[in-house]
Amino acid sequence: MTLSSAEPTVQAQASTQGGERLQLLRVLGPGHVWALGVGIVLVGEYMGWNFAVGKGGMIAGLVACWLAGLLYTCVAMIDSEVTSTVAAAGGQYAQAKHIVGPLMAFNVGLFLVMAYTMLEAANAITIGFLLDTVAGLQGHSGLHQPPFIVLTVVFLAWLNYRGVLATLTFNLVITAIAFLAIILLFVSVQLGASHVPLDFSAISTDPLPYGWLGILAALHFGLWYYLGIEGTCQAAEEVRSPARSLPYGTMAGIMTLLIAATLTWYVCSGLIPWEYLGQAGTPLFDAARVTGSTPLMVLLFIGTIFSTLASANGCINDASRAWFSMGRDRYLPSWFGAVHPKYRTPYRSIVFLVPIALIFALGAPLDQVVTFSILSGLLGYTFMTFNMVMFRRKWPLGTIKRGYVHPFHPFPAILLLLICAATYFAVFLGYGSQLIAMMCFYILASLWFHFWRYRFVRRGDQFTMPWPRPQGC
């Protein structure tokens, strides 16, 4: 695998089995990386983040937004350094393979697949819910949601099946429109477009309905504002210049999301009673409803649909590439490691993950699906902390070429670990059973991999970077 290649044509190389091994196309620029990251995450402003308000109140929701922003700043700093150096499909999965070991890589691959597949399911649920709401507003209550959920997942899977460039260009456009919708809502409300005034009196009358514990509890869903931004590095093998484009796209994405998250909290908290906001399915659309402005309602309806489509689209892209990478390395059956002969996409992985997304989209409540996604993301962020420390210890600065070196090491890793620990406790408050179920799943999967699946893995092939031997090994 030639990581420095910028050749935008299909490459083929002899595989170890003597056949032709097709590779993914290097066609993506920084704009696509931004769109992939923000496209997946922007939906966090359109749904899910507001459960943080439900867990702790308005102030807790804002504090959670900023604390989570701090967490993701650490994630972006760490991820930019490691990803710009280990630029291979699978992102953190490839990092774990080279830095910690195969079992960790298998787990990280599963974190990515589960986080993105659950997020995809949450997006499909939101689309069904939104269409039901709008149908109700038009006097057609009781819309049957499942067909729309299935249609969403299957259509986007088909789009991904056909090709990554078309898919992410599509994402770039609809993400930009969804982001613009939030800005327009904020500006319109500030200019007095709302028939109902902004009201923040709950901040003084009921500032912390759960006390200080509520702030900690709210951190659980605070992650939803940004969850998935690290997905930028999933397409590392398809980026023309990973060392430059990946850090740039990720950092630009974090800045975009910090702005959008703050604006979203401000508008929604001012227009919607916090008790309603804490359990709403589509908070930004609800905020537009409260303004009484039909154009804003239409705009936020489009924004919600576009953000969920962009997110689900990016999730399918990322989850399938993580699954594909694991298949290619035989961590999973090698059948999944195939690239489509015409479209150059990991088509078998794309198709395989469709029914898993549908099981949860059709059969689980939104907050539970969101929690599963958050938990998988959280486990991945925890991994990043010791992965970063091990990376610097095994290959100190100067021993290998890094695309980007993040400052203040190990402070970001320590801070990230502390916020992760607080978030585990936050999930434990109210959703402890999901946390235990998730941990049992990963422990079982780890034992299965180590004692069974690993026998099919070629040992030496797990280290493909042109680096010197790691120190201490």
Partner 1 sequence: MAYQPPKQGFVGQIVDVAVLLVMTVGALYIPLYLGLAGAAKTPRPIENPTWEALGQNAAEQAQWQALGIADPAAASDIVTARFDYSFSWAALLVMAVLVIGYFVLVVRLSDKEYRDVIAERFDRK
Using CB under 8 A as the binding rule, the residues of this chain from 377 to 436 that contact partner 1 are 382-383, 386, 424-425, 428-436
By C-beta, is 69 or 430 nearer to partner 1?
Answer: 430
Number of residues that bind partner 1 (CB under 8 A): 90
Q: CB of 234: closest distance to partner 1 in angstroms?
A: 20
Q: CB of 18: closest distance to partner 1 in angstroms?
A: 14
Q: CB of 25: closest distance to partner 1 in angstroms?
A: 27
What's the residue count for the chain? 473
Among 202, 305, 310, 358, binds partner 1 (CB under 8 A): 202
Residue 265, number of CB atoms within 10 A of its CB: 24
By C-beta, is 390 or 415 nearer to partner 1?
Answer: 390
Q: Is 199 an interacting residue with respect to partner 1 (CB under 8 A)? A: yes
Q: CB of 159: closest distance to partner 1 in angstroms?
A: 24
Q: CB of 107: closest distance to partner 1 in angstroms?
A: 6
Cα distances (angstroms) measured from residue 279 to each of 49, 67, 146, 382, 399: 10, 21, 21, 28, 51
By C-beta, is 170 or 424 nearer to partner 1?
Answer: 424
Question: Do 409 and 395 contact (CB within 8 A), yes or no?
Answer: no
Question: Do 111 and 377 contact (CB within 8 A), yes or no?
Answer: yes
Tell me which stretch binds partner 1 (CB under 8 A): 24-32, 69-77, 149-157, 191-199: 191-199
x/- letters, 35..54, toward partner 1 (CB under 8 A): -------------------x
Q: CB of 7: closest distance to partner 1 in angstroms?
A: 26
Q: CB of 413: closest distance to partner 1 in angstroms?
A: 14
Q: Is 266 an interacting residue with respect to partner 1 (CB under 8 A)? A: no
CA separation for the pair 59, 61 (Å, rounded)? 5
Per-residue DSSP letters for 322-378? HHHHHHHTTSS-GGGG---TTT-S-HHHHHHHHHHHHHHHHHS-HHHHHHHHHHHHH
By C-beta, is 168 or 322 nearer to partner 1?
Answer: 322
Output the 3-class SS for 168-183: HHHHHHHHHHHHHHHH
- Pick the closest to residue 185 from 127, 264, 275 (CA basis): 264
Q: Name residues contacting partner 1, limited to 324-343 (CB under 8 A).
A: 330, 332-335
By C-beta, is 249 or 337 nearer to partner 1?
Answer: 337
44 alpha carbon, distance to own chain's centre: 9
Q: CB of 158: closest distance to partner 1 in angstroms?
A: 22
Q: Is 446 an interacting residue with respect to partner 1 (CB under 8 A)? A: yes
Question: Do 302 and 181 contact (CB within 8 A), yes or no?
Answer: yes
Q: Is 353 an interacting residue with respect to partner 1 (CB under 8 A)? A: no
**Phi then psi dihedrals of residue 322, to 5 deg:** -65, -45
Among 135, 177, 364, 415, binds partner 1 (CB under 8 A): 364
By C-beta, is 214 or 249 nearer to partner 1?
Answer: 214
- Find the farthest-apart pair of alpha carbons in the chain and give their distance in angstroms, rounded: 72
Q: Is 450 an interacting residue with respect to partner 1 (CB under 8 A)? A: yes
Q: Name residues contacting partner 1, limited to 51-110 (CB under 8 A).
A: 54-55, 96, 100-105, 107
Q: Name residues contacting partner 1, limited to 130-169 (CB under 8 A).
A: 137
Among 273, 295, 341, 396, binds partner 1 (CB under 8 A): 273
Q: Is 49 helix (H, G, I), strand (E, B) or coil?
A: coil
By C-beta, is 408 or 456 nearer to partner 1?
Answer: 456
Alpha-carbon dihedral 246, 248, 251, 256, rounded to 10 degrees: -110
Tell me which stretch binds partner 1 (CB under 8 A): 63-71, 78-86, 180-188, 459-467: 459-467
Q: Is 255 an interacting residue with respect to partner 1 (CB under 8 A)? A: no
Among 201, 294, 407, 466, binds partner 1 (CB under 8 A): 201
Question: Do 86 and 429 contact (CB within 8 A), yes or no?
Answer: no
Q: Is 284 an interacting residue with respect to partner 1 (CB under 8 A)? A: no
Q: Is 28 helix (H, G, I), strand (E, B) or coil?
A: strand
Q: Name residues contacting partner 1, limited to 205-234 (CB under 8 A).
A: 205-206, 209-210, 213-214, 217
Alpha-carbon dihedral 232, 238, 239, 242, rounded to 10 degrees: 80
Output the 3-class SS for 128-173: HHHHHHHHHHCCCCCCCCHHHHHHHHHHHHHHHHHCHHHHHHHHHH
